[in-house]
Amino acid sequence: MLPTYICCPKCRGTLEQNDNSLICRDCTQQYPVNFNIPDLRWPRPEDDRRQQALLTRLAVSYNQSDFSGLVSMLSATSAEAEHLVSMYADYRLDIRRGQKFYRMFLERWNDIFGKPPLSFDVALDLGCGTGKGLLPLATDYAGVLGIEPDLPSLLLTKKLLEQENITNVYLVQAYAQVLPVKDNQFGWCHAQNVLDHLFRVAPAFAEIHRVLKTGGAFCADSHNRFDIFSKEPHVKIRWVGWLPRAWMKPYVKFRTGEVYEDIHLLSVFEVRRAFIQTFGPHNFRIIFPKVEPYGYPATWNRIVTIISKIPLINFAILAVFPSQLAIAQKSD
C-alpha cells in the first residue's frame, strides 16, 4: 500500500498502482517499481548498465543471504582499494551507529529548540543508505519513510528491516532535491552522513523545509570541507578539502589511485548559506557534534564542550573541526 503522503515528484499529483509500476493520475508520468521499491527519481535518470548488472547479482543472492552476506557480496564487487572496501563494509555492518547519531541529534535539538516533536506520527530518513538511521526512528514513530537514490543500498536496507522484523518503514528511491512527498507531512527529518553527497544543498534543504510540519525538526551532520584534524573520511588522506574543487579529483587520483566522485564536502559557510535561504536566518544552528558517534572516546566531549563555550575561538575551531551538526526547525 502506498502511504498517503507519497505523490508524483514531477507534478505532486496522485499516484496509482498499476501492475509493476506507478502512474500519475494528473501528468501520466510512469515510474517503475523494483523489488517493491518505487523508483520516484525526478528528473528521470539515464539507464545505468553497471548498476543493472549489480542488481541482477543482488537479486539472485537476496533470498539466500542475510544482511551481512549481502554487504560482503557488495564489497566483493567493489573496484576500490582493499582498505577502503573493508572500511565501507565495517561502516555498513555497524548498525548501532544509526542509534548513536539519532540520540545525539535528539539531545542537541532538545538543547536548542526544546522538546523534540516526537508526538508527530511520521519521520523521514533522508539518504537512508543501508538503513541504520531508520532503525531508531521505527521505534519512536508510527511510520517512517526512507529515501535514497541508490537502489543497491535500498535492497540492503530492505533486508535489514526484514531481519529486524520492522514493518512500519516505507522505502522509496528518490533524489533529495525533488522529494515525492506532499507538503507538511513530517515531524522529524534526519540525514546521517549525507550532506557531503548532495552537491546541490540549498534545493535539498528547501524540499526538507517544504515536507516538514510547522515546528518540525531537521538534523544532519556534515563532514567539514576545511577539517584540519582528521583524514578525509571517504579516501583517508588529509587536506583534500583545502584544494580548489577542480583539483580534488586529480589530487586524490594521484595520491591514492581512487576515483573521487559523488562527494562534495561542505564548509560551515556553505551549510549556513543554504539554511539562510531555506529555513530563514533565525531557525537553525550549526554546532559541534558529540564525538562518540564517530568512534572517538566520550571523554573528549569535555574538551569540545569547553571549546564550544569560548566566544570567537569556538567559531574558529568549528570552521576547521572534522564535522558539524546542522539543526533546524520549520517555523512557518
What are all long-range contacts of 165-168, with beta carbons under 8 Å and residues at least 24 apart? 166/134, 166/135, 166/138, 168/138, 168/141, 168/142, 168/143, 168/144
Per-residue cell: 34: 523494483
Minimum CB separation from Zn ion for residue 44, in Å? 12
28 or 139: CB nearest Zn ion: 28
Q: In angstroms, what is the C-alpha Rg of the chain?
A: 20
Minimum CB separation from Zn ion for residue 25, in Å? 8
Q: Does 18 interact with Zn ion (rule: CB under 5 A)? A: no
Minimum CB separation from Zn ion for residue 95, in Å? 36
CA 195 to chain centre: 7
Size of the site for Zn ion (CB under 5 A): 8
Per-residue cell: 37: 521499491
Minimum CB separation from Zn ion for residue 9, in Å? 8
11 or 93: CB nearest Zn ion: 11
Minimum CB separation from Zn ion for residue 114, in Å? 38
Start-to-end CA distance of the chain, whole Å, equals: 31
Q: Does 171 interact with Zn ion (rule: CB under 5 A)? A: no
Minimum CB separation from Zn ion for residue 228, in Å? 47
Q: Does 8 interact with Zn ion (rule: CB under 5 A)? A: yes
Q: Does 217 interact with Zn ion (rule: CB under 5 A)? A: no
Print the binding letters for residues 229-268 with Zn ion: x by CB under 5 A, - otherwise: ----------------------------------------
Q: Choose, by CB under 5 A, the member of 13, 203, 215, 322 that binds Zn ion.
A: 13
In angstroms, the Cα distances linking 113 to 24, 173, 192, 219, 260 are 38, 31, 20, 12, 37
Q: Which stretch binds Zn ion (CB under 5 A): 12-20, 163-171, 231-239, 314-322?
A: 12-20
Q: Choose, by CB under 5 A, the member of 6, 22, 23, 24 that binds Zn ion.
A: 24
Cα separation, 281 vs 273, whole angstroms: 9
* DSSP three-state, residue 183: coil
Q: Which stretch binds Zn ion (CB under 5 A): 11-19, 143-151, 226-234, 302-310?
A: 11-19
In angstroms, the Cα distances linking 309 to 142, 284, 288, 314 are 37, 18, 11, 7
Q: Which stretch binds Zn ion (CB under 5 A): 17-25, 131-139, 168-176, 241-249?
A: 17-25
Minimum CB separation from Zn ion for residue 20, in Å? 18
Minimum CB separation from Zn ion for residue 150, in Å? 23
Per-residue cell: 149: 537514490
Minimum CB separation from Zn ion for residue 41, in Å? 14
Q: Which stretch binds Zn ion (CB under 5 A): 6-14, 35-43, 186-194, 303-311?
A: 6-14
Q: Does 27 interact with Zn ion (rule: CB under 5 A)? A: yes
Cα separation, 116 vs 108, whole angstroms: 10
12 or 273: CB nearest Zn ion: 12
Cα separation, 69 vs 155, whole angstroms: 12
User: In terms of C-beta density within 10 A (0-12 exposed, 13-18 middle, 19 or more buried), how is residue 240 classed?
Assistant: buried
Question: Closest Cα to residue 259, out of 268, 267, 272, 250?
Answer: 250
Cα separation, 221 vs 224, whole angstroms: 9
Residues 28-87 that bind Zn ion (CB under 5 A): 29
The residue ranges that bind Zn ion (CB under 5 A) are 8, 10-11, 13, 24, 26-27, 29
